[in-house]
A = this chain, B = another copy of it.
Amino acid sequence: MSSRPDPDALGFVLIDVARMLRSAFERRIATAGLGLTPGEARTLVRIATLEGSRQLDIAQRMGIEPMTLSTYLDRLQSLGFIERRPDPADRRAKLIFTTPAAGALIASIRTEQVELMEHVTSGIGPEELELIRDRLKRLRANLCALEEDSAAPALAKDAGR
């Protein structure tokens, strides 16, 4: 019956998986004694791929608010894993770099991540995994668009779409 919503609907399953994944990742990171939260780990990994970017850029790539990123950076900086250097081209801005000390940590995070995902995806073929990853990226793109809409609804007006 339609009065019995399916708890296995895609959205619910997705959220279930994400919650469990995060908590499993947290447990792994804690066990490995890395001393980071999953969010900090995620941030550090992102920074490593965006070496020398501004905070706004990083935040946007990560899909979080600049303030949220700033908090993570405070923590990562106090641990000595990243640096904030003034942008010579704009004295308001700061450029973010990982420190040499972060190298081993990033590798460890990577290892934990890979091992966990191997466990979690066991029983699913590589082509299917690739497909899922691809479609999830599509979902993410759709969600990004959605957020932009709701952030600037005044511009949308009755433009019809």
Contact = CB atoms under 8 A, between A and B. Distances in A.
Contacts of A150: 27
A133 B8 contact: yes
A20 interface: yes
A117 B5 contact: no
Number of copies: 2
A106 interface: yes
Nearest to A50: B7
A123 B110 contact: no
A137 interface: yes
A113 B18 contact: no
A135 interface: yes
Q: How large is the interface on A (under 10, 10 to 19, 20 to 34, 35 or more residues)?
A: 35 or more
B121 A13 contact: no
A10 B140 contact: no
A18 B17 contact: yes
A106 B5 contact: yes
Interface string A125-161: 0001101110111111011101100100000000000
Interface of A: 2-25, 27, 42, 45-46, 48-49, 61, 63, 103, 106-107, 109-110, 113, 116-117, 119-124, 128-129, 131-133, 135-140, 142-144, 146-147, 150
Given A2-B107, A7-B46, A7-B61, 15 more contacts: A2-B110, A3-B103, A4-B49, A5-B113, A8-B133, A9-B113, A10-B117, A10-B129, A10-B132, A15-B22, A20-B143, A20-B144, A21-B143, A121-B139, A128-B135
